[in-house]
Structure 1
Amino acid sequence: MSLYRGGIGQWAWLLHRLSGLGVLLFLVIHILDTALVLWGADLYNRVIAIYRMPIFGIGEIGLFAAVLFHALNGIRVVAVDFRPAWSVYHKQMFQAVVVLFFLIFIPVAVIMTGHILEGMHG
């Protein structure tokens, strides 16, 4: 029986891949914008100044969500890989990942949103 044949296992698989791609996209952009320093501090500083816009703060919240989900679900994937007998609990383990994700994400997102709003008005 495959864990990834529809249902919750398919969602876990898809979200894990998408969150990984999101983190990869951030890393590529980060490497490229850091490399701008090779063309001078002025160009680098102008690009970094753009990142202070509120839309990028929202992007940081998305990045945090992607990293957090990918890490928590990665622990679940490793657990099932190293303890195949636990695969019968993959649904419950994914549900635990989702609960932990929201327990951690919501307060952090509230704090991050507060910083974004302070930056807009301060």
Structure 2
Amino acid sequence: MESPAKKPNTRGILDWFDPRGRQVGGWGFILNRLTAIGLTVYLYLHLVMLGKLAQGPEAYDSFIAFAKQPLIMFGEMLVIIGGLYHGLNGVRIALNSFGVAVPAQKQLLYGVLGLTLVGSLIFGLRMLAAH
């Protein structure tokens, strides 16, 4: 019996993010990659801003005024959503790696998405109430 011919990967790393033909777990893994990239970018920006805060009280006050802008608050929400999803999906992937709940991957992913939604809503409401 011949093995099916695989087509060559002509798109390189872009195939990592191509959802076509993937099962639910593959979709979850794509989202995990995207959130990892987003959280890495956030970490860099966070460290840059911490460096600016070391410049004194005026820099701190300026940062607080900057952080209260709607676009920055939206970015904070994206970080929370990404962080919650990435962490919870990491637990799902670890369970799968250890052979736990392998047949229930779709349900686990939906649970991860549901918990991410609930946690994000709670954080968002608290954030809006504080401003």
TM-score by length of 1: 0.75
CA distance in 1, matches of 2:53, 2:118: 38
Aligned residues: 111
Aligned to 2:105: 90
In structure 1, which of residues 88, 95, 99 is the aligned counterpart of residue 114 of structure 2? 99
What is the CA-CA distance between 1:21 and the residue it aligns to? 1.4
| Identity over aligned pairs, percent | 23
Aligned to 1:11: 27
CA distance in 2, matches of 1:48, 1:36: 12
Show the 5 A alignment for 1:1-122. 6-36=22-52, 40-41=55-56, 44-45=59-60, 46-83=62-99, 86-115=101-130, 119=131
Does the CA-based 8 Å contact 1:22-1:66 persist in structure 2?
Answer: yes
Q: Which has the higher contact order (CA 8 A, sep 6+)?
A: 1
Please give the root-mean-square deviation of Cα atoms over the aligned residues, in Å: 2.3
Q: Which amino acid aligns with 2:82?
A: A
Larger relative helix fraction: 1
Does the CA-based 8 Å contact 2:53-2:63 persist in structure 1?
Answer: no
What is the CA-CA distance between 1:34 and the residue it aligns to? 1.6
Q: Which amino acid aligns with 2:78?
A: G
CA distance in 1, matches of 2:127, 2:52: 27
What is the CA-CA distance between 1:32 and the residue it aligns to? 1.5
TM-score by length of 2: 0.70
What is the CA-CA distance between 1:89 and the residue it aligns to? 1.8
Gaps of 5+ in 2: 1-18
